[in-house]
Amino acid sequence: MAQSMIPLGKKRYTVTLTEEHAENLKLFLRQNHTPTNMMSVILDEFVCNFSMHMIPLFRKAQEEGQKVTMGDFFKATFDGIEESARQEKLL
């Protein structure tokens, strides 16, 4: 597959990332002998998990008349990451 080809079912998006965070991830990938294009896979998996799990929860809360804020979004995201790390015994 040529480098410019995008895999079937994928689409190129422009995202803006905090340079420090992106560079830390790229460094981590290099240190672990992982291709830096894995950053795209990691972001895609995050979006997938968010779409499958978080969006339905927020929609349900909104349907029940609850006001969902960005603070709720960030707290739920952090709580999910923390729980995953605990399950994997990383924390």
User: Is the Cβ–Cβ distance between 55 and 41 less than 8 Å?
Assistant: no
pLDDT in tens, the chain (91 residues): 445 678 888 898 999 999 999 999 999 999 999 987 888 888 898 888 888 888 888 899 899 999 888 888 888 888 878 887 788 776 5
pTM here is 0.64
- pLDDT for 79 equals 84
Neighbour count for residue 90 (Cβ, 10 Å): 8
- pLDDT for 70 equals 83
- pLDDT for 1 equals 43
Task: Break the chain into its structural domains and give their ranges.
Answer: 19-87
